Amino acid sequence: MNGVETKEKSPMGLKVKIPELIMVLMSFAFARVGFYEYFYTVGIAYVGSLYEKIEIRKWSVLFATLGVFSLMRFDVGTLKYVLMIGLISLVRKWLEMNHKECTLQNQLVSTFASIFLVDLLSTLIQGFNLYTCAICIVEALVGMALTYIFACGTSIILQRRQTPLTSKESISITIMLALAVAGALDFYISVPICKEIYFRDMVAYIILIAVTYLGGANKGVTMGIVMSSLLVIIGYISPAFVAIYALTALVGGVFLPIGKWGVILGGLIGQLVGFSIFNGGRLDWSLIGAYGIAAVISFIIPKNYFGIASWFLEKSIEQNEQIHLERIQRIMTTRLKHIVRGFEQLGDSFEKVRPKRMEFTPKDMRNIIEDTGEKLCVDCSMKQFCWVQDLKTTYQHAYEMIDTFKDKGFISEASIPPLFKEHCPNASNFAYVMSFKLDLLRQNTMWHNRFIENRALMAEQLKAVSTTLNSLVNEIEKEIYFNKEEENLLKENLLAQGIHLKDAMVLENKGKIQSIEIYTSKQDDDYPDIMASVIEDTLGYKVALESMMSREENYEYKWKIKNTYRVTAGYAICAKEEISGDVYTFMEVDDDQYLLALADGMGSGRVAYEESAATIEMLEDFMESGFRKDLAVRMINSALILNDDDEVFSTVDVTLIDRKTGMAEFLKAGAATSFILHDGDVMPIRMNSLPIGIVKDVDLEIKHVQLHDGDILIMITDGILEASGDILGKEKTFKHFILECKGQAPQYMADYLMEKSRDLLGVQVGDDMTIIVARIWKEH
């Protein structure tokens, strides 16, 4: 219909939140708990702990008051607790009117003051003395302490926590559950044999079975003792039943590996044993009946117990297994992607087919001679003479033509021996056919040799890959694990600081903490400063925030341990031609390593640059994927040999610095001397080895040097020390340059050393020159 505007009516109704409803109903039960039928402090403390939400504050006051009235005792000793509840409510109303927030601190003070003032007034009315005054103070202090304990538990329920409870929180929840049972309205149902089965007993056993199943025997026994002790204090059961409750939980915990039904069966056995030992052998059929109904209800309840299973560490570990497996999967896929990149670079090197060498065996040459003779001389009139009477001379002439082929690559008519040409009527055809067959043999030999060498190189590469993958498997299976003890301690401390934590993981590798991952709810995102302080105090390491990601349901914070040392680097390049053939890199790699590398391709210009760049790119990929540096260099060597059409090779100079220990590892393949400046002294690092790309089995040497705070490392290409007829060839000259440099900033020092080297050379640069300068210092 046109011109008619409709409005959809919103549904009206009461929106009830289960956790808040539970909190309000518990205030009724807590108000009914009285010690020695005189002290009902528990209900006052519980009302004092429900301060976070206005609706809960109002309704808890009402239900607590109803709980006191439900006792049906209207004397001064009981009704004074209604006055205490009223005072707490008035204080909160005053705070609201003055726009002040209710906090745990002011509620502790409010609870203490309300209990003390009302008790003091009651004492003055009934008769003042020091004893009653002391009772007032003690009850007020107990009320304040219980308020603090209950506040911890109520916060857990209202937030619907999905992480294990801390020790403090476990105590709070245990006391609250026990008090809820003690203060519950009791009634019974009549059943044959069991006669009367009480509601309170059923609730007690449901809680006892749940805690034993979720938390194990230790938590079950604790709950049984606390709950039964409170029931003894309020006069509900005799003291002997404390042992029966504890034994029920203990034997049930023994059968926990079987599952929930094992806990129930074990609890029944423990109860029967308890009756025989602590109850004079008399069975209490009322309790047995209550236990039977509790068992049936426990079977119906879901395994996660409506979400509270995550409060218990034993069950929380099972729920977190999937998260841990996903973390391992991420580690594997990340590293394997790097390996794939490295093999892509290596695969490119196999695309070009290049020549190698040729070798003829005596058998090959003899077969060619005989095969040529059989094809050309079968109908020749001179066959008897050449191949029978003068066989030796014929072979001699054939070998001479083969030697000519080896030298020139073909047999021309002019290369035919004169005597052979005079005797043989088909001398030219004989030489041509044999040349053709020799060329085929050369081709076959070349590819045969290529195949053999490629197999050797591939074997070396596959061994390197196998070694790396095997290390990765061992790392995942043995070395990478989640430190559960540190995780639990960290979770407890983070929760104590008010962080809305969902999960925390501490990843270790080779006994060292590698990373800390913390997952929080999306209530706040200003946790990093608090987190850093808590992590450092808990784990004893300085940490830095590596990344923060906002996911659909939570924030993910990834922290890493700060390294003991920092490394900064600078470089300077001087090219002989337009493009330098030297290529460098410095970067962070896994396991807290810092990589510095130089590659100097043969010659200069673009060709040398391409070889050096390929070397450095493959080195970076292999190092990032977890290859050992020596295996990485060996695989690069294989790639260069396979591309060896012009005998192109490259020097490689690799330095790895462990930023946790300061230990430096040097690996050189034909590279120039490196230098370390330490406390005014220059130490050279020399190694004698061939560049990669020359021989298949490259000989690599590794040296280890401990670096210290403030040390400076200088790496150079051979263009520096061997420039211009060895003007700078003496290391003493370059050491002098290093010592006379006043600045210690890496970039400044690299520029200074390059400038001094160029000044000494003048206008002529004989080779590409590159300098890398790195400085290491401790983090403070």
pLDDT digits (tens, 9 = 90+) for 676-703: 999 889 999 988 877 776 666 666 778 8
Taking residues 207-214, report their average pLDDT: 88
In a shared domain, residues 540 and 571: no
User: Does residue 596 contact residue 715 with C-beta atoms inside 8 Å?
Assistant: yes
Per residue in 28-87, pLDDT (tens digit) is 988 888 876 778 888 888 888 888 888 888 888 899 889 888 887 777 777 888 899 889
266 within some domain: yes
374 within some domain: yes
Least confident of 113-127, 280-294, 619-633: 619-633
Least confident of 191-195, 222-226, 282-286, 499-503: 191-195
What confidence category does residue 776 fall into, taking pLDDT thresholds of 50, 70 and 90? very high
pLDDT for 338 equals 66
Tokens of 410: 């073909």
Q: Mean of the per-residue pLDDT values for the chain?
A: 79
Measured torsion, CA atoms of residues 100, 103, 105, 107, in degrees rounded to the nearest 10: 90
Task: Out of 160, 191, 217, pick the residue that ends a domain.
Answer: 160
pLDDT for 496 equals 83
- C-alpha span between 289 and 271 (Å, rounded): 12
Whole-angstrom CA distances from 517 to 513, 540, 562, 588, 771 are 11, 16, 15, 21, 39
What backbone phi and psi angles, to 5 degrees, belong to 734?
A: -70, -35
In a shared domain, residues 43 and 130: yes
- C-alpha span between 484 and 317 (Å, rounded): 9
In a shared domain, residues 133 and 180: no
6 within some domain: no
- C-alpha span between 469 and 227 (Å, rounded): 56
Whole-angstrom CA distances from 682 to 381, 668, 671, 736 are 85, 19, 18, 9
Number of C-alpha atoms within 13 angstroms, CB side, residue 372? Answer: 25
| Between residues 306 and 460, the one the model is more confident about | 306
Task: Kindly tell me if the per-residue pLDDT of 480 is higher than 50.
Answer: yes
In a shared domain, residues 528 and 591: no
Q: Rank 234-238, 340-344, 705-709 by mean pLDDT and report only the highest.
A: 705-709
Taking residues 473-478, report their average pLDDT: 53
Q: Rank 126-130, 291-295, 315-319, 404-408 by mean pLDDT and report only the highest.
A: 291-295
In a shared domain, residues 580 and 728: yes
Task: Out of 519, 546, 561, pick the residue that ends a domain.
Answer: 561
CB proximity list for 128: less than 8 A, separation 6 or greater: none
In a shared domain, residues 755 and 611: yes
pLDDT for 268 equals 92
Task: Kindly tell me if the per-residue pLDDT of 780 is higher than 90.
Answer: no
In a shared domain, residues 551 and 583: no
pLDDT for 766 equals 66
What is the count of structural domains for the chain?
5
pLDDT for 1 equals 37
**Among residues 502, 503, 506, which one has the least CA distance to residue 481?**
506
SS3 for 600-666 is EECCCHHHHHHHHHHHHHHHHHHHHCCCCHHHHHHHHHHHHHHCCCCCCCEEEEEEEEECCCCEEEE
323 within some domain: no
Task: Kindly tell me if the per-residue pLDDT of 467 is higher than 50.
Answer: yes
| Between residues 727 and 23, the one the model is more confident about | 23
Taking residues 246-274, report their average pLDDT: 88
Least confident of 221-235, 533-547, 632-646: 632-646
Task: Out of 561, 587, 605, pick the residue that ends a domain.
Answer: 561
User: Does residue 700 contact residue 669 with C-beta atoms inside 8 Å?
Assistant: yes
In a shared domain, residues 599 and 512: no
Per residue in 431-450, pLDDT (tens digit) is 888 888 888 888 777 776 66
| Between residues 135 and 692, the one the model is more confident about | 135
Whole-angstrom CA distances from 278 to 238, 239, 246, 281, 284 are 11, 10, 12, 7, 12
355 within some domain: no
In a shared domain, residues 131 and 203: no
- The residue assigned the tokens 């001397």 is 673
249 within some domain: yes
66 within some domain: yes
In a shared domain, residues 394 and 437: yes
Task: Kindly tell me if the per-residue pLDDT of 537 is higher than 70.
Answer: yes
- C-alpha span between 494 and 303 (Å, rounded): 28
- C-alpha span between 609 and 617 (Å, rounded): 12
pLDDT for 569 equals 92
Whole-angstrom CA distances from 766 to 576, 603, 714, 756 are 7, 10, 21, 15
Domain of 443?
Answer: 362-451
Taking residues 705-723, report their average pLDDT: 84
pLDDT for 346 equals 57
SS3 for 87-123 is HHHHHHHHHHHCCCCCCHHHHHHHHHHHHHHHHHHHH
4 within some domain: no
Task: Kindly tell me if the per-residue pLDDT of 519 is higher than 80.
Answer: yes
| Between residues 628 and 10, the one the model is more confident about | 628
What confidence category does residue 6 fall into, taking pLDDT thresholds of 50, 70 and 90? very low
In a shared domain, residues 241 and 263: yes
In a shared domain, residues 201 and 274: yes
**Among residues 593, 497, 506, which one has the least CA distance to residue 558?**
506
